[in-house]
Amino acid sequence: MFYGVGVKLDRVLVYGLGRSGRGAARFLARAGVRGEWLDARPGAEDEALMDELSWARGDAGGAYDVVVAAPGVPIDHPDLLALQARGAEVIGEVVLAARLRPALPMVGITGTAGKGSTTVLVAGLLRAAGLNAREGGNIDPPLLDVVDSAEVAVVELSSFQLERVPGLRLPVAVVTNLGVDHLDRHGTVEAYHAAKRNITAGQEAGDVLVVPEGLSVPTRAQVRPFSPDRIALADGTPVLLSSELPEGVHPANAAAAVLAAEALLVHLGRPVDAGVLAGALRAAQPVSGRFETVARIGNVRFVEDSIATRTIAVQAALERAVPPVVWLVGGRDKGADLAPLREAAAGRVAQVIAFGEDGEALARALGLPYRVVAGADGEATMRAAAQAGLDALNGEGTVLLAPIGTSFDQFRDYRARGEAFRRAALTLAGAEVQG
């Protein structure tokens, strides 16, 4: 038996394992809870952990106090609805952490693009200010793997996670932007945006919400607007110029991160030193898989942005890449809006290299010159794409992996696709040096 703040855990079910569900099970086990689990397609790692924890397989027809549902399970899944009808409260990992670790301050960060990079920046700024800040959530590692070793948790929150945050109150929340994504899950843009706005639903007048200038989000919190043209504290005190940021660190993410870190420091009664924050930003490293230069051959850069499958993220990558750009497009089409991408590519993209299941169809729809490459597997495909990108440039420009499509046609996830591209680019760079 275990009772947290506002949560009774006599009978708990972890529904959906994978990265998040395994993190929830490990966290509950450390708290002395022996729950049950259910997953439609458990992997070997899932079953091994449940055996180690001595958790029994649950039943969607059973009665539970709390169901901790993994983000990948839609909130209207028939099993979750049936469990709720029998009295269970459905929550996610973030609410579980907030209720069982109520003294842990959390900064929540969401958005259609840039939320992962901003999460890492905020955590880095807080560490520079002397706090043991750990990042987790939608970004590796799972939040519940870090909450017991953190003084502050900085949480990347997807729209899936934000479907299941009843009563969550964050002292500091950030919305990086709101675009179009995950319509296959949420159905409409309005429903997707409503899920994102849940990040501020539990905030009160003493809390802070950081949003882009011009974005209106209904909230009771104090609103702090940010702009990529102004990396400064809330009172306007400059922190540093965007030109001083390391390559791969976006000014908008930096501007949002400064305001979020400042708000959390003020919340904790800690001093805010603009010089310390500036130093941390100058030392910041881009997040792997998010517009990162992974290799150079002369004046040709190989930029990996494998996570760029949302229109707003791909558009940002195209606008940041040094032209001429050879744009690697492919994977499995998720229905992205291509119109803004045609505009962003105009005058910048010299050629599209199409790969994977829907690469050629995407390239045709973009209306740009393209070449199709293929390989026996994902690794070979990325080697062919990187080589074709280099061949298409005259010794100067950018080979950009911003694929639009998801990775699931040839890879485990976007990280695996990005690593394959990185290896291909580094191999080409090594061959260039040796030759």
> Would you list the domain boundaries of the chain?
12-91, 101-283, 292-433
Q: How far apart are CA 24 and CA 170, in angstroms?
A: 20
Could you give the C-alpha distances from 350 to 292, 310, 418, in angstroms and in order? Answer: 20, 21, 22
The annotation places the binding site for ATP at: 111-117
Write down the pLDDT at residue 254: 96
Asked if the peptide bond before residue 246 counts as cis, ω within 30 degrees of 0, the response is: no
Write down the pLDDT at residue 78: 94
Q: CATH number of the domain at 101-283, please?
A: 3.40.1190.10
The annotation places the binding site at: 111-117
Q: Which parts of the chain sit beneath pLDDT 70?
A: 1-9, 183-184, 289, 431-435
Between strands 7-8 and 3-4, the pairing is antiparallel
CB 340 within 8 A of CB 311: yes
Between strands 89-91 and 66-69, the pairing is parallel
Write down the pLDDT at residue 435: 34
Write down the pLDDT at residue 7: 55
Q: CATH number of the domain at 12-91, please?
A: 3.40.50.720
Q: State pLDDT tens for residues 40-69.
A: 888 888 999 999 999 999 999 989 999 999
Write down the pLDDT at residue 90: 93
Give CA angle at 18 (16, 21), nearest 5°: 55
Q: CATH number of the domain at 292-433, please?
A: 3.90.190.20
Tell me the β-bridge partners of 174. Answer: 109, 210
